[in-house]
Chains A and B, each alone.
Chain A
Amino acid sequence: MSDIMTAKDLNLWYDKTHALKNVNITIPEKSITAFIGPSGCGKSTFLKTLNRMNDLIPIVKITGEVCYNGQNIYDSSVDVNELRREIGMVFQKPNPFPMSIYDNIAYGPRTHGIKSKVKLDEIVEQSLRDAAIWDEVKDRLKKNALGMSGGQQQRLCIARALAVKPKILLMDEPTSALDPISTSRIEELAIELKKSYTIVIVTHNMQQAVRISDNTAFFLLGELIEYGETEKLFSQPTDKRTEDYITGRFG
């Protein structure tokens, strides 16, 4: 497996707070990488640096590099919008737009200039199929997306992210607002999707990390403490702090 993303000496400040300290990591292609750690450890913040969502917060300052396919995404020549098309995101709380299911999925492709009705229909169906929700919604594509259940909304958001054909999918605690059944469906979906996409998932549910991820990174107080194969990290952690965390001594 080749590496698709690399962070080098990444530091991030919220105003004066040093929120990420010298993070170095490489993320392999077509795998699931999980970020774990207690609340406020910087895992979500780090996830957002990977597609520059932190740009939207004016007080954030970033140093270091994040390379995607060898290109530093913080380089001034990078088109942020194009970057976010290739590196999609699924948020903690399902956030469908207040539009029809169809328009939600078509939003991304339309944003990037696809106007043909035939092409859009095709993308919408394919994305919904890939997100394993097509059968549930195919008869009500014109209905408002806000009428769906929370679990359905989250799979819709995954479908919406897939519709722009990203290479990487960043998931920020995608199941934390969902019930156990919806959670397991999303987990199954993630494993299915890894065949064609690279997935990075932030979770505070350690069982979830064990169930679905190939590699796991443990963050604490803005530092990347340990990073390696999931099985190994959970069975023989090398760092004392990792061991304390996964055995439930804190967090």
Chain B
Amino acid sequence: MLSKKRKAYITAMKTAMYISVGLTAALVIFLVLFVFFKGIPHISRELLFTKPSYTSGRIGILPDVLNTLYIVLATLILVIPLGVGAAIYLTEYAQNKKIVGMIEYAAETLSGIPSIIYGLVGMLFFCQFLGFKTSLLAGSMTLVIMNLPTIMRTTQESLKTVPQSYRDGAFGLGAGKWRVIRTVVLPGCVDGVITGCILSVGRILGESAALLFTAGFAHALNGIVEGLASPGATLTVALYVYAKEQGEFGVAFAIAAILMILTLLINLSAVLVSKHFAKKRKL
């Protein structure tokens, strides 16, 4: 038999656990339902497919949707080669443990820096020093630095799972290092790159503080080339502006609901992708 004291301890711990998990679950469910309940009624064809017009007082978020798309594309195109290259350097070339340690520490530091600081440095460096002005391109450059550690880490993880025997086999046939990397190593890290891209897309969608001063908050409807060269708000920035500066809570919640759906989709695809690759690994 358990003593009274032990019983009390067990009950207390169990209660604390149930309350905590219950709270967390309730919180998530509340957030999702609240945002959908407040936001979905405001999502309309007009909202999705027009641009805002001051003369008619109409609000449309098409420019913000496109800006988000442009920024995601531009960032990924720039960050993938950089991140994958860095990962390849670390796993295939670097032999000095100190340098590897320093690079990894730098990557960790980068992922710990708050986005407001990225925004500030992005503004100083890309917008002012390099002369990109406030533009989507300056915004994506800033996001490239923010997402570099993510792509680097996921690629590194998957490179570590490429068996050394593949490399030995290729070297044993007289292949040079670059050929071994291209033909045997790179195909093995596709899963890491895809996982990294999904994580990065999530992060880019959710980012606002780093974009406020680098990409600005214009709502002009542009093509991709023109768009990247001019300032523009992404969905999150638009949400902030509509809620905080203009008091348009209906539009803000509509954007919030859209962002929530996108977040759900991204998480779902992350789960599916990792399951898919786990299955492949087993073969």
> B-contacting residues of A (Cβ < 8 Å)?
51, 53, 56, 58, 81-85, 88-89, 91, 93, 95-98, 107-108, 111-112, 146, 157, 160-161, 164
Contacts and interface: CB of A to CB of B under 8 A. Distances in A.
A95 B169 CA distance: 7
B119 to A, nearest CB: 41
17 contacts: A51-B172, A56-B167, A81-B176, A82-B174, A84-B174, A88-B173, A95-B163, A95-B166, A96-B169, A97-B170, A97-B183, A107-B175, A108-B175, A112-B174, A157-B169, A161-B172, A164-B174
B283 A146 contact: yes
A108 B168 contact: no
Contacts of B168: 53, 56, 89, 91, 95
A88 B172 contact: yes
Contacts of A111: 170, 173-176, 179
B109 interface: no
Interface string B160-195: 000101111111111110010001100110000000
B95 interface: yes
Nearest to A107: B173
B164 to A, nearest CB: 9
Question: Considering residues B172, B175, B283, which has the most beta carbons from chain A within 10 angstroms of its beta carbon?
Answer: B172
A91 B172 contact: yes
Interface residues on B, range: 20 to 34
Contacts of B173: 84-85, 88, 107-108, 111, 160-161, 164
A95 B170 CA distance: 10
Contacts of B176: 81, 111
Nearest to A104: B169
Contacts of B169: 91, 95-97, 157, 160
A84 B175 CA distance: 8
Contacts of A161: 172-173
Contacts of B283: 146
Contacts of B174: 81-85, 108, 111-112, 164
Instruction: Determine which residue in B169, B173, B175, B179 has the highest number of CB atoms from chain A within 10 A of its CB, and name it.
Output: B173
A220 to B, nearest CB: 26
B95 A107 contact: no
Q: Which of B165, B170, B174, B183 has the most CB of A within 10 A?
A: B174
A98 B281 CA distance: 11
